[in-house]
């Protein structure tokens, strides 16, 4: 099923038309892939928009995209959909604050780590 795969244009589109107001949901500000626990995820008020993970790719690359010298957690790092970690994210819309959110889960040997970042459409490449 690839019908819910979002490309850059679709992701930018998802951010338009809704004013991003200061967030009132439990996640708080998340400009740079914040780690969060599942109990902070505002489940009922977020709507899943689709995925950025291409089902045709078995193992998405772990390579990151930082042409401007940014790092993984930089709030100004580009959101490069074909690179890590966007390439394993699902996209959500928060109905409370109007933000578009990307989330994915890192699996370590003994832990899972949920990460979230809010989408600034200007950073989508």
Burial 66-83 (b: 16+ CB within 10 A, else e): eeeebeeeeeebbbbbbb
Strand partners, 2: none
Closer of 65 and 103 to Zn ion (Cβ): 103
Does 94 engage in binding with Zn ion (CB under 5 A)? yes
Q: Does 23 bind Zn ion (CB under 5 A)?
A: yes
Residue 97 lies near Zn ion (rule: CB under 5 A)? yes
The residue range among 2-10, 14-22, 57-65, 95-103 that interacts with Zn ion, by the rule CB under 5 A, is 95-103
Any contact of residue 25 with Zn ion (CB under 5 A)? yes
Distance CA(57)–CA(77), nearest Å, equals 24
**116 - beta bridge partners?**
34, 103
Q: Work out whether 119 is an interface residue with Zn ion (CB under 5 A).
A: no
Task: Summarize as ranges the residues that interact with Zn ion (CB under 5 A).
Answer: 23, 25, 94, 96-97
């Amino acid at each position: 099923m690839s019908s819910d795969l979002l490309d850059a244009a679709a992701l930018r589109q998802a951010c338009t038309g809704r004013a991003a107001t200061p967030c009132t949901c439990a996640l708080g500000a998340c400009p740079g892939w914040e780690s969060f626990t599942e109990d902070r995820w505002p489940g009922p008020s977020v709507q899943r928009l689709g995925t950025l993970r291409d089902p045709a790719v078995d193992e998405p690359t772990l390579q990151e995209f930082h042409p401007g010298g940014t790092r993984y957690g930089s709030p100004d790092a580009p959101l490069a959909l074909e690179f890590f970690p966007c390439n394993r994210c699902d996209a959500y819309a928060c109905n409370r604050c109007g933000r578009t959110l990307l989330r994915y889960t890192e699996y370590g040997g003994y832990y899972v780590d949920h990460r979230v970042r809010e989408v600034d459409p200007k950073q989508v490449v």
